[in-house]
C-alpha cells in the first residue's frame, strides 16, 4: 500500500496481494483518513489479488463516506473485478466494482 497525503486530499494506492494480513494496516489508514476529514481517492489498479476481508473494509469506507469525499480512481484490475463478483458485491449500487455513484 502506498499513501500520498496531499492537500486537499489523500490517495491510497493499493498494490499487489491484499488479504487479511493487510487488513489491519488498511483499516488504520482508513481510520486516519476519516479523522483527518480529507477527501480520499482509492486506486485499485495495481491489485493482483484481493480477498473478502479487504472488500469489506473498502465497502465500509464507501458507506462511511456518504458526503462524497471518497472516490475509486484508476482502472480496477481484473483481480479486483473477479473478487467483487465472487463475493457478491458487484450488484450493490456504488460498491467497488458495481455501479458507480
C-alpha cell at 53: 476481508
> Which residue in this structure is represented by grid cell 491484499?
18
Task: Say what the pTM is.
Answer: 0.77
The 10 Å Cβ neighbour count of residue 40 is: 21
Per-residue model confidence (pLDDT) at position 67: 65
Residue 91 has a pLDDT of 62
- Measure CA 93 to chain center: 15
Q: CA torsion sign, 48 to 18 to 65 to 43?
A: negative
- DSSP letters, 76-95, are PPHHHHHHHHHHT-TTSTTS
CA-to-CA distance for 94 and 22, rounded, in angstroms? Answer: 23
Q: What is the pLDDT of residues 20-71, one digit of tens each?
A: 999 999 999 999 888 888 888 888 888 999 888 998 898 888 887 766 688 8
Q: Report all structural domains of the chain as residue ranges with CATH numbers, in order of start.
A: 2-87 (3.30.750.24)
| More confident of the two residues 96 and 6 | 6
Amino acid at each position: 500500500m502506498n499513501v500520498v497525503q496531499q492537500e486537499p486530499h489523500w490517495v491510497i494506492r493499493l498494490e499487489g496481494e491484499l488479504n487479511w494480513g493487510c487488513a489491519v494496516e488498511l483499516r488504520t489508514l482508513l481510520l486516519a483518513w476519516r479523522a483527518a476529514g480529507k477527501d480520499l481517492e482509492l486506486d485499485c489498479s495495481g491489485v493482483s489479488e484481493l480477498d473478502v476481508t479487504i472488500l469489506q473494509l473498502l465497502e465500509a469506507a464507501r458507506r462511511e463516506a456518504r458526503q462524497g469525499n471518497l472516490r475509486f480512481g484508476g482502472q480496477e484490475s481484473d483481480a479486483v473485478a473477479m473478487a467483487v463478483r465472487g463475493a457478491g458485491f458487484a450488484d450493490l449500487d456504488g460498491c467497488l466494482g458495481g455501479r458507480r455513484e
